[in-house]
Amino acid sequence: MALSKQVFPGDVQDIQVPVIGQHYLVCGNEDCKKNCQFYCNSCHLPLCEQCRDEHHNIPENKNHEVVPYRQRMRKLPVEKCKDHPTKDIDMICKNCQVAVCSKCLIKDHRGHTFDDLETIYSKNFTLCLDKIYNINQYYLPTSQDIKRDIKEDVLKLKAFMDKIRTSIKAEAESVKRLVEKAMSDNLEQANEMEETLLEKLQSQDKAYDEYNGYLENLVKEFQGYLSYDKVQNNSILFSLSEVLNIKPIPKSTEPVYPVFTAGQYSKDDVAKLLGTVTVPTTKPASRKIKPMDITSTQLKPTRKLKEADGDELEVNQKLSLSSSVTNVKEYIVPGLKSVCHISGGKSGILWASDASGNLVQTDLHGKQLQMIKTSGENESYHTVTLDGNLIFADRTNCSVNRITLGKTITRFITTKGWVPLSIHTSHINGDILVGMTVFFIGRVARYNKTGNEIQSLEQDNKGQRLYSGYPHYITENINGDICVSDRNKHAVIVVNKLGQHRFSYTGQGSKIFPYGICTDILGHIIVCETSSKTVHLLDQDGQLLSLVLSQKGKENPHGVCVDDDNNLHVGYGDTNTVIVYKYLQ
């Protein structure tokens, strides 16, 4: 596709509003500079409406197939026939299932049926793009979401099993207390039995002590009877029947010892007391896989996304790049000296900041709704989440703060020594993208909605650093690409959602100084370039499509965003006025 001559600010310095944007998707006729709207599939030529009519009026072009540009047929890559090097392979033999040139067709495939290889190529090319898009837009994100769910389930499982282990120990402690109580009762009963038996034995022992004393006294008495001095008065001279009558030995009983009967139990009996851990017989429920939906959460339901190769799909059969860029509105952001960054909130409400750390919430009539003093500078350090809360980076404390609708400021993320410069909320899944720096080294980190880091981007596939020490503006495209303005690297660096480097946009010859960056519903990448004092409109693959030219007196574009009505808001570093442009039709 032929491109028009590149346009630089010096070539158009006398243009007044309404500003005319120079589109680089232009008519293929050499002398025509109009916007391309049609495509000739026969000669692979992009055409404007006037050139299309002229093209049809040429007799030899009467049978050419001219279609809207988005319905164009892909040009077949040139491949020479091995057997006939002067001929291009452009047909496929359906009988032999081989690609052939016109000479092969005549020489070796007479009577066979053929298909146009270019038609097949274009069809399969589009099919592959669709599959690539579906993989990037649905299958990979869905699979990654399920993987995150599995990680969360792992954490939930560990917490759940910790509770079970705590319950097992508590149950064991309970049984242990019961065992100790039963043991204590048995010991007490044994002590009581011992005390009873001891009392009985001691009573018997005492009886025998008394009996022994009686016998000892009786012996002494008998000995007295035997004394000669007392013979005359001793009763032994008379009758001994009463004297010799000795009391019988007291009777006693042997103790009956208690019997201990050991408990009859097994491990299973103990397990029943403690409880058991079992696997439920319930069949595990299948994880829910969200159905494929080609629309992004940031788009209205009637809108469509774009193809993976960068061509815009129709949004409502009418929405496309306009042939001119017009100024439709201006508004002032009170309380700011300049407008270095704009982040959109709900309809008609925006947040804007200047280079001095002043962050203001305003409506489109210039009414200040809220103002915050921050440590931010000329960077995209604030963003509005899907639920309407503001998140902004705190350079001083190396953190990211959240402001809820109740105006309460809470620390949300700690960047652990890295200075956060830029921040963006994903409109696809609500993740938080943060560009940061430390010691002249830059990186981009992805955090989930709870503030946990889930991805870190620092190097490309070759081990080279993706960013310099200043990734100061960041956004996400509708296909999940992460787009970063890196002022020190003089480039817009784009990686896919897996962190693989896709391309770097470095301008059209002269060194660029990229600042504010955003994307739109068609997947365009829109970036402020302060050196040329323009806003560059790129396609999804980094090809320059258009320049939005600054007006005199407002020549330092810094911040950009696209609102719900597909209007482009541009803030400038030399004024607190925001200009709203219409660039789609």
Residue 430 has pLDDT above 50, yes or no: yes
Is the distance from CB of 201 to CB of 255 less than 8 angstroms? yes
Q: For the full predicted model, state whether its pTM sits above 0.85.
A: no
Predicted confidence band at 271 (pLDDT cuts at 50, 70, 90)?
A: confident
Q: What pLDDT score does 558 carry? A: 93
Integer CA distances (angstroms), 129 to 392, 406, 545, in order: 37, 45, 21
What is the full DSSP assignment across 68-93? Answer: EGGGPPPPPPP-B-SS-TTSB--EEE
Residue 553 has pLDDT above 90, yes or no: no
Amino acid code (one letter) for 360:
V
Domains and CATH numbers, the chain: 9-71 (3.30.160), 122-274 (no CATH), 321-584 (2.120.10.30)
- Span 344-371, pLDDT tens digits: 866 678 999 999 999 999 988 888 888 9
Residue 424 has pLDDT above 70, yes or no: yes
Q: What is the mean pLDDT of residues 310-323?
A: 52
> Distance between CA atoms of 386 and 426, rounded to whole angstroms?
8
Is the distance from CB of 412 to CB of 447 less than 8 angstroms? no
E strands, 300-431, where? 321-332, 341-344, 349-353, 358-363, 368-373, 382-384, 390-394, 399-403, 409-414, 419-425
Q: What pLDDT score does 233 carry? A: 55
Q: What is the mean pLDDT of residues 327-339?
A: 91
> Strand 514-519 and strand 368-373: pairing?
unpaired
Q: What pLDDT score does 297 carry? A: 34
Predicted confidence band at 227 (pLDDT cuts at 50, 70, 90)?
A: low
Q: 75-84, 98-107, 302-311, 554-563: lowest mean pLDDT where?
A: 302-311
Residue 462 has pLDDT above 80, yes or no: yes
Q: What pLDDT score does 407 carry? A: 75
Q: What is the mean pLDDT of residues 411-420?
A: 92
Q: What pLDDT score does 243 carry? A: 62
> Distance between CA atoms of 33 and 323, rounded to whole angstroms?
11
Q: What is the mean pLDDT of residues 12-34?
A: 53
Residue 267 has pLDDT above 90, yes or no: no
- Span 79-129, pLDDT tens digits: 888 888 888 888 888 888 888 888 888 788 877 888 888 888 888 887 887
> Distance between CA atoms of 357 and 13, rounded to whole angstroms?
32
Share of the chain above pLDDT 70, in %: 86
Predicted confidence band at 199 (pLDDT cuts at 50, 70, 90)?
A: very high
Average pLDDT, the chain: 82
Q: What is the mean pLDDT of residues 174-182?
A: 89
> Distance between CA atoms of 377 and 469, rounded to whole angstroms?
15
For residues 441 and 72, the model is more confident at 441
CA dihedral 207, 213, 215, 217 (to 10 degrees): -150
